[in-house]
Structure formats: C-alpha cells, structure tokens
Chain A
Amino acid sequence: MNNETRRYHLAVWIVIASEALLFAGLFALYWSYRAEVPSLFASGITQDVHWIGALNTFLLLTSSFSIAWSILQTRNGRRRAATVSLVVTLALGAAFLVFKLLEWGMHARDGLVPGSSLFFTLYYLMTGLHALHVIAGMTLVTWVTLRRERDLALPLVALYWHFVDVVWVFLWPMFYLAKP
C-alpha cells in the first residue's frame, strides 16, 4: 500500500470507529433500559413486524455481497459488470428503505409512535439513525458508480457499506428476535 492509499484507508477506519461510538451510546441506552424494564421490551419485540425485519436483513446482506462482487469485477478489469453490481447494491439499499418506511407507517397506524413507550422511542431512534446511514452509504455508492477511477475509492465505499450492514445485524435481534 502506498502512502496515499494508507491515508485514505486510515481515514475511513477512523470514521467507522467514530460512528461505532455514536451507535454505542444508543446501544448502551437500549441495554440499560432493557435491564430496567424487561417486560416492556418483551412486549415491544412481539409487536414488531417480523417478516419485514427478516426480509430487510436478507436485502442488506445480499447488498454486502453485491458490493464485494463489484470490487472483484473492478480488479479483473470488468467495468461494466462492476457497474451492474453497484446498481444492484443501490436497488437493494432502496428496497430496504422502502420496507423500513412501510413498517414505520404500520406502527404509526397502531399508535406506536416515538414517545409512546421507551421501547418504541429507542426503536425509532436506532432504526432511524441506521436508515440515515443507509442513505449516506447509498450516496457514496452512487458517487463511486459515476466515477471514472474506482480502484482507490470503491474498496473504501464498500468498507463503509459493510459497516452499515453490520450495525443492522445487531439491530435485527435486538428489535425482532431476542426477547428478554
């Protein structure tokens, strides 16, 4: 790795560390409240829309695969295949957001809005912050798709995209699967 590549890699890792601490604050709140009022979290998890949670996990994990595939194609010099793979990534991210919005709407119809209970306040804050990160990630993927030179930028954008996926992998059991 030359100095410039190292510099950009370091910067992205620092951003990820910083963002991880941002989520860590919310995770700490979640686990503290979960320990204080487990019943609230048990009933909250039953109320979440499980098929959307599972589908969204599938969509994001697949998008991690497709962006990794685009790196491989870029390395092999197949620019067009890489572009297709990036567009697929974007589509999967957009689908994730659509289903997330759908789910929020379903909750809102049932009166489960931010402020209605600690569980749902945390649910909206954490999935909302995560959705903002999906949007940021999609912006970066769009940017790298339109770029001529992808060798340096694409692995870095992919790194960030994987981070956003990993956060979701933690959110999924916390809000849909693991009852206290």
Chain B
Amino acid sequence: MSFWTHERGLTSWLATRDHKRIGILYLATVLVFLLIGGIFALVLRLSLVTPNNALVDAHTYDKLFTQHGIVMVWLFMIPSIPSAFGNFLLPLMIGARDVAFPRLNLASYWIFVTGGIVVLVALIAGGVDTGWTFYTPYSTAAPTAVTWAVIGVFITGISSILTGLNFIATIHTMRVAGMRWRDLPLFVWNLYSTSIILVLATPVLGLALLLVGADHIWALGLFEPAQGGDPVLFQHLFWFYSHPAVYIMILPAMGVVAEVVSTFSHKRPAWYGAIVFASIGIALVGFLTWGHHMFVAGMSTFDSGLFGVLSMLVAIFSAIKVFAWTSTMYGGRITLATPLLYIFTFIFLFIFGGMSGVAVATTSLDVHWHDTYFIVAHFHFIMVGGTLTAFLAALHYWFPKLFGRMYSEAWAKVACAAVSVGFILTFTPQFLLGNAGMPRRYATYPPQYQWLHVLSTCGAVLLALGMLLTAGYLVVALVRGKRVDNPWRSASFEWRTSSPPPADNFVDAPQLRDTYAYEEVAS
C-alpha cells in the first residue's frame, strides 16, 4: 500500500507528518503560485507590445512587475525544488523513515502558506509598487500595501529557515547505518548547501524587511536621508540575502541536473568530489559577492573591484559543474527523454546566463548595463531559466516516483520544445534591448524598441502555451497514465523502493551504499 492510500480523508493530508505528503502539498502550492506569477508576467509582456501602455496604465504596470517578482521569487523559486522535491526525496535518498523533525516540517508548510496568503492579500487588496527589491527611501514612504507585503515575505522566511534546519539535521543524523558523507547522492549535497544559505541568509532579509515595515508604519527614518539615514545601507542588507538567494534557487537545480544527467547517461557522475566541492564553494563564496548590485550606488572603486572579482569566482565553481555534467554524458548510453532535454536547455541557459553574469560583474561594463533590460535578461536566464528548467526536469523525472504513473513522452517533448524556445525567445531580445539602452521597469518606451519587445512577447506567449500543454498532459497522466515502477532504470536510492513509495518508505530495512551503481544495472 502506497503513501497515497495509506490513510484517507482531508485531515490525513492537512495534518500529515509524512515528508512525502508534505512534499506533495508543497508541490501543489508552488504550482499555484507559479500560475499566479506567470499570469502577472504575461499581462506585463502583452502590455509592452505597443510603446504606450497597450493593456494597463503605468501605475498598474508598476504594481504588476512588483507582484510578479515577489510571487516568483519568494513563493515559487525559493521553495520550489527544495521544499517540494527535497522534502519528498531527501529521506528516500538517505534511507530514512522521515526527516529529523516531522512536526516542524508540517509547521514549516503551514507557515509558508500563511505567508503566501498574507502576500497575496497585500498584493490584491492594495498592491505594491516598489519593485520586489523594496528599495528605500521610496518603499518606506510608498502609499501602497508595503507593510503587509514585507510581513508576508518575512513569514515565508521563517518557513525557509525551519526547512533548512530540518534538512541539515536530517542529513547529519538520519542517514542509514553505513552511509558515509561521500556516499550521499549529489542532490542531497546540493540540498545541504542550500540549507546552509537558507539558515544563515534568510534572517538578514527578514530583518531588512521588518525595518522597512517598521519605518513605513512609524516613520523612523532609519534609511531616510532627510533624517540622517543612508538608503544604501538597506541595499547592503537586502542583497546580503538576495544574492545568496540566487544560490538557494540554483543549487537544488544543480542537484537535479547531476541526478538526471547520471540516470539518463546510465553512468556514474564524473568528478563526484569536484561537484561536492563546487556546491559548498558556491554556498560560501556566494555570501561575499552582494556588493555587485551597488556598483553605481556610490561604492568605492576598491570595494567594487573586490566584489567584482569575488563574483567572478563563482563562475569557476559553476564551470567545474558544467564540465562535470558534460563529461558524465561523454561515453554514456544516453536516453533522450524529456528530463534530459530540459537539462540541455538548462545547460544552454546556464552557460549564457553565467557568462553574461561575468560580464556584468565587470565594474566598468556594469555602469552601462545597470538597471537596463540586460540585467533583466541576465538574471532571468540564469536564475529563472535555471530554476524553471530544472524544476520541470525534476517534475518529469520524478513524476513516476511520486505518482507511480507515466506521462506521455511525445507530448512532453513538444511542450519541452515550446518552453525552451519560448524562454530563449523571450529573453534574448531583452539582452539586445538593454544593451541599446532600454531601462527596466518602464511602462512605456520609444518606438525604435518596439520590434524587440514584440519578439519578446511572442516568446512569452509560446512559453505560456508550453506550460499549459505540460499541465494538460500531466493531469491526464495522473488519471490515465500507465502504471510504472522505475521507467528510467535508474540506480539511485529513491528508485530502490516502490513507486509510489509505501508510507514507511521502505518495506525491508534499506541497505544503501552506492547510489550510482550503473555497472550492475547494465549487466
């Protein structure tokens, strides 16, 4: 009997302590937020088809891009892979019955939902027009629902910290007897790195946002120049979290890449140690790069140079990973299934997004690109494209694990093509727009930019169609998909129990040593 049918009834879900059910709850919740954030994005893109507000007026436009950012960053991308797939898979991958603190895990989910609802109410009731970055001094004086929005984000931050705590404690103390650190699947290593950032960076964001909220209510003037405050200090606090937040999103994505590449090449991951080293390295160096967001905000030349060089260091760790993934595929028996195709898109976006990242970390070039569409395109390529493609790869790869059913590979490939082409078509023109001088966050623009905006919107529509198609065949597969157990013939730990797993995860006591034993499977 699987965990789906083990207990029945609504409370058996809403009050569950089973990490698998909590993972499913997270998955359903973040998909709702993805839909909401996606609708905001689509309205924005459609409105930009003509130079003068095709769809919404300028103030609504300001609110929409703010809401798109807040929902996508804190309600979709941060929790997406770690909270949904991490919760479901982590105990399975280390041979544990559950996470270290199951009740805390459930609390973390409900705190997340509470925070999400507060954010949504703030966005719908009043709207917020500060940009997702809440920059002072505007955010402390803005006549919109800033206070409620920051309180909502603060609450989701508590959920993040609790999830990170739970994962670290689980990895340290719940491994099956005999499993050493070097036996951990790479996905687990990446969850570990992400958890470190969740635990250490999130409180600083929480503090910065609470200060904005308090300032908004009581006019403390902590960041208000008229009262002696320094608005740039807010930017320091904000980016001390929000730069590492990029790695909260991308590290679990990298974990997915490592697992998918290995499974679909039917081969042990190349350079296991180097990937682990690079994951931890990214998590640690990621704490020292936040200043690259403030090159034009009045930072000294020396500091800018230092932050620029440290930021480029991350590219070295990232390159190690790209080489490791490609050499894993080299000489493998490759199955070109949808999860791997999404990983190809990931690697493409990751390389170009990463290289443009090195470019914008160069202080002199950043002056030209700062606050233009070039930056928008850069971070959408690396952070959004990376997270979204890896999330979709994970969703397809582990779909049979979660539900015990198979989706239609043919439709999935069509959707994958639409999503990949759509995404690249949306953001490539934005690199060109930014380089030509189009600033971000503007509702209107001079007519010479129109053709690039139209191209970008076409891409966004194609992307939306691909996502709709994905939703369609996955829902069909939930009901009518062929029953399968391990369709990918993966050797990884999580596939060694049945699909979907029983409520207790394993029927017999698990013996887990080598997660990538492909020599045995091949024979």
Contact B169 A14 (CB under 8 A): yes
Give chain B interface residues in 156-212, CB to chain A under 8 Å.
161, 164-165, 168-169, 172-174, 199-204, 206-208, 211
**Does A25 lie within 8 Å of B165, measured CB to CB?**
no
Q: A22 near B228 (CB under 8 angstroms)?
A: no
Which of A31-39, A59-67, A155-163 forms part of the interface with chain B? A31-39
B219 at the interface (CB under 8 A from A): yes
| Cα distance, A49 to B174, chains bound together (Å) | 50
Say yes or no: is B230 at the interface (Cβ < 8 Å to chain A).
Answer: yes
Instruction: Give the chain B neighbours of A37 by CB distance below 8 A.
Output: 228
Contact of B237 with A29 in the complex, beta carbons under 8 Å? yes
Main secondary structure of the interface of B (DSSP, over half): helix
**Please, how many residues of chain A have a CB less than 8 angstroms from a CB on the other chain?**
29
CB contact between A22 and one of B204, B218, B219 (< 8 Å): that residue = B204
CA distance A40 to B222 in the complex (A): 14
Quick check: B173 and A25 within 8 Å, CB to CB? no
Residue of A nearest to B232 (CB): A32
B301 at the interface (CB under 8 A from A): no
Question: Bound complex: CA of A126 vs CA of B516, how far in Å?
Answer: 50
For A147, what are the chain B residues with a Cβ–Cβ distance below 8 Å?
A: none
Dominant SS among interface residues on chain A:
helix
- Check B227–A118 contact: CB distance below 8 A: yes
Q: Would A25 and B172 be within 8 Å (CB), given that A115-B218, A118-B229 are in contact?
A: no
Q: Which of B214-263 contact A (CB under 8 A)?
A: 214, 218-222, 227-230, 233, 236-237, 240
Contact B221 A115 (CB under 8 A): yes
Report if B344 contacts A (CB, 8 A): no
Are A24 and B204 in contact (CB-based, < 8 A)? Answer: yes
Are the CB atoms of A14 and B165 closer together than 8 Å? Answer: yes
* Interface membership of A139, Cβ < 8 A: no
How big is the B interface, by class? 20 to 34
Determine which of A18, A40, A114, A121 lies in contact with B200 in the assembled complex, contact meaning CB atoms within 8 Å.
A18
Least CB separation from B201: chain A residue: A21
Which A2-55 residues sit within 8 Å CB-CB of chain B?
3, 6-7, 10-11, 14-15, 17-19, 21-22, 24-26, 28-29, 32-33, 36-37, 40
Collect the chain A residues with CB atoms within 8 Å of residue B473's CB: none
Closest to A128 in B: B214
B200 touches A17 (CB 8 A): yes
Q: From B222, which residue of chain A is reached at the shortest CB distance?
A: A121
Query: Given A7-B169, A14-B165, do A22 and B229 touch, yes or no (CB 8 Å)?
Result: no
Q: Is the CB of A25 within 8 A of B204?
A: yes
**Which residues of B have CB within 8 Å of A26?**
207
**B155 at the A/B interface (Cβ < 8 Å)?**
no
Chain B nearest CB, measured from A10 CB (Å): 5
Per the bound structure, the CA–CA distance linking A117 and B236 in Å amounts to 21
What B residues does A11 contact at CB under 8 A?
100-101, 165, 169
Q: State the CA gap A129–B383 with chains docked (Å).
A: 34
Which B267-321 residues have a C-beta within 8 angstroms of A?
none
Question: Are the C-beta atoms of A21 and B200 separated by less than 8 Å?
Answer: yes
Residue of A with least CB distance to B172: A10
The chain A residue with its CB closest to the CB of B101 is A11
CA distance A10 to B200 in the complex (A): 14
A14: B residues at CB distance < 8 A: 164-165, 168-169, 199
Shortest Cβ distance from A10 into B: residue: B169
Measured between beta carbons, the chain A residues less than 8 angstroms from B228 are 37, 40, 117-118
Q: Are A121 and B230 in contact (CB under 8 A)?
A: no
Pick the 5 closest A-B CB pairs, nearest first: A22-B203, A25-B207, A21-B203, A7-B173, A25-B204
Q: Which residues of A contact B (CB under 8 A)?
A: 3, 6-7, 10-11, 14-15, 17-19, 21-22, 24-26, 28-29, 32-33, 36-37, 40, 114-115, 117-118, 121-122, 125
* Chain B residues close to A by CB (< 8 Å): 100-101, 161, 164-165, 168-169, 172-174, 199-204, 206-208, 211, 214, 218-222, 227-230, 233, 236-237, 240
Sample of 19 A–B contacts (CB below 8 Å): A7-B100, A11-B100, A11-B101, A14-B168, A17-B199, A18-B161, A18-B203, A21-B201, A25-B207, A29-B237, A32-B236, A33-B230, A37-B228, A40-B228, A118-B222, A121-B220, A121-B221, A122-B222, A125-B214
